[in-house]
Amino acid sequence: MSQHFDLLVIGSGPAGQKSAIAAAKLGKQVAIVDSHKMVGGVCINTGTIPSKTLREAILYLSGYRQRAFYGRDYTLKERITAQDLAFRVQRVVGREVQVIRHQLRRNGVALFEGVARFQDPHIVAVETTDGEILLGADFVMIACGTRPAGSPAIPLDGTRVANSDQLLGLATIPKTVTVVGAGVIGLEYASMLCALNTEVTIIDARPQLLDFVDRELIDALTYHMRDNGATFRLGESVSAVEIDARERVVARLESGKRVVSDALLYTVGRQGNADQLALDAVGLACDDRGRIGVNETFQTAVPHIYAAGDVIGFPSLASASMEQGRLASCHMFGRPCVNAPHLYPYGIYTIPEISMCGRSEQELTAAKVPYEFGVSKFAELAKGQMVGDDTGLLKLLFDPDARTLLGVHVIGDTAAEIVHIGQAVMAMGGTIEYFRDTVFNYPTFAEAYKVAALDGLNKL
């Protein structure tokens, strides 16, 4: 005999949480399933929250933000250890898990800790520490997330050769690191290591970094990372990894090169966890990367089964996943929902950080959409001088006739914060003239919008 719910959610990450809570707010009986060690999902335990907390710890302890004033050798703590960094991460993660458990309990969402798999289209078996239980539901939300992808050529040991989930478990901070994979995760961790004065070599088979990001921002990022000690080997593939007689990690490239370092970080893609759910029991299948296909309302090929979050692929953002989960619950229970993915902001927490919303110059050019642009350099802002950010910039793209805002692209301190100003104006169909006519607090980074708008209007 199984317990029955209106909605059963598999996975307690951002998509699962918001789907469960949205349904509970509608008065539905909701249950959520996840393993004991993963309450909060990858976002809380091994991904977004740990990595961004690590970034803040590195920026603080390394004194990175103060080096513009006190020199490149300035540091707040002379010898930064892995334990220093882990301390802050553990405190934040522990607190966030408590917050999520409280939110689910407050909204009456039942939490079952165990491993889920489908038994039939409406029954999910959950393997708990006390044995198997059966949960039935009218609707099922698959929000089981992803895990780091592996490769037979990369012998992971979690100490010298690690993936992104294992990085925080390293006993010491290596002096030299090879990062295989220059996606968002690889570049974020590589730039953090550079801020610790670690020599980093970044290897990627693609000839170009992050092709969905505005080229000017990527050019600026690679310049600053090189300036901080990074080496890029693009268009290169790793054929084998081995440990030499001196306990160093040797990455052999298909071109015949050898890259030697103290440690190697493998960050080539993520594998969806849908391949572990026995989808054949419900007539579903995932692709070779463990991802599930959905329609615009997040329904799978089985109408009462929905999927959201990283398991459905791009953009694989915690913020987007939250909205996907909420929208899916609204749709399954007949409530109005409007999805506007073209207005989702994207944050990349490299050092310096990048954020954007709307279309890039490359996208507009490919679509044959005429545009003009305005730029504000943080070095010319009083706030930029105060905090020592003389490298950041904000770029606005707009229609030269209607003057409507088409895209906002930012690199530098607080980029992921101030992008929301442009996002709001785009969502309201506003024009670049809004920024010209608005008074911003002074001195702030938000003032960059006014400077960029004036620069763009001057071009007309």
Cβ neighbors of 131 (< 8 A, separation 6 or more) are none
Q: What is the pLDDT of residue 2?
A: 72
Q: Contact, 424 vs 388, CB < 8 A? A: no
CA–CA–CA angle 321, 323, 324 (5° rounding)? 60
- CA dist., res. 449 & res. 447, Å (int): 5
Question: What are the Cα distances from residue 158, in Å, to 48, 167, 388?
Answer: 19, 7, 36
Number of domain units in the chain: 3
Residues 383 and 431 in one domain: yes
Residue range 417-430, pLDDT digits in tens: 999 999 999 999 99
Q: What is the pLDDT of residue 434?
A: 97
Residues 356 and 439 in one domain: yes
- CA dist., res. 193 & res. 62, Å (int): 11
Residue 347 belongs to a domain: no
Phi first, then psi: give them for residue 129, nearest 5 degrees. Answer: -70, -20
Residue range 41-70, pLDDT digits in tens: 999 998 999 999 999 999 999 888 888 787
Range of the domain at 213: 161-268
Of the candidates 96, 183, 143, which has an alpha carbon nearest to the alpha carbon of residue 323?
143
Name the packing angle between helices 448-459 and 415-427 (round to 10°). 60
Residue 139 belongs to a domain: yes
Question: What are the Cα distances from residue 148, in Å, to 186, 354, 375?
Answer: 12, 23, 37
Q: The domain spanning residue 455 has which CATH number?
A: 3.30.390.30
- Per the DSSP assignment, residues forming a β-bridge with 261 are 249
Residue 155 belongs to a domain: no
Q: What is the pLDDT of residue 155?
A: 92
Give Dmax over CA atoms of the chain in angstroms.
72
Q: The domain spanning residue 43 has which CATH number?
A: 3.50.50.60
Q: What is the pLDDT of residue 1?
A: 54
Residue range 203-261, pLDDT digits in tens: 999 999 999 999 999 999 999 999 999 999 999 999 999 999 999 999 999 999 999 99
Residues 16 and 112 in one domain: yes
Phi first, then psi: give them for residue 161, nearest 5 degrees. Answer: -120, 110
Domain boundary at 212, 235, 268, which? 268
Residue 62 belongs to a domain: yes
- Per the DSSP assignment, residues forming a β-bridge with 62 are none
Residue range 365-392, pLDDT digits in tens: 999 999 999 999 999 999 999 999 988 9
Chain centroid to CA 182: 14
- CA dist., res. 191 & res. 182, Å (int): 11
Residues 20 and 133 in one domain: yes
Residue stretches of the chain with pLDDT short of 50: none
Residues 141 and 282 in one domain: yes
Q: Fill in the DSSP letter of residue 239.
A: E
Residues 216 and 259 in one domain: yes
Residues 55 and 135 in one domain: yes
Q: Contact, 63 vs 69, CB < 8 A? A: no
Q: Contact, 200 vs 213, CB < 8 A? A: no
Indicate the residue type of 169.
Answer: G
Residues 118 and 215 in one domain: no
Residues 455 and 443 in one domain: yes
Q: What is the pLDDT of residue 400?
A: 97
Residue 123 belongs to a domain: yes
Residues 189 and 96 in one domain: no
Residues 212 and 195 in one domain: yes
Question: What are the Cα distances from residue 256, in Å, to 3, 30, 292?
Answer: 59, 55, 38
Domain boundary at 207, 242, 268, which? 268
Q: What is the number of helices (H) and of strands (E) in the chain? A: 13, 22
Domain boundary at 250, 268, 286, which? 268
Coil, helix or strand at residue 369: coil
Residue 119 belongs to a domain: yes
Residues 260 and 275 in one domain: no
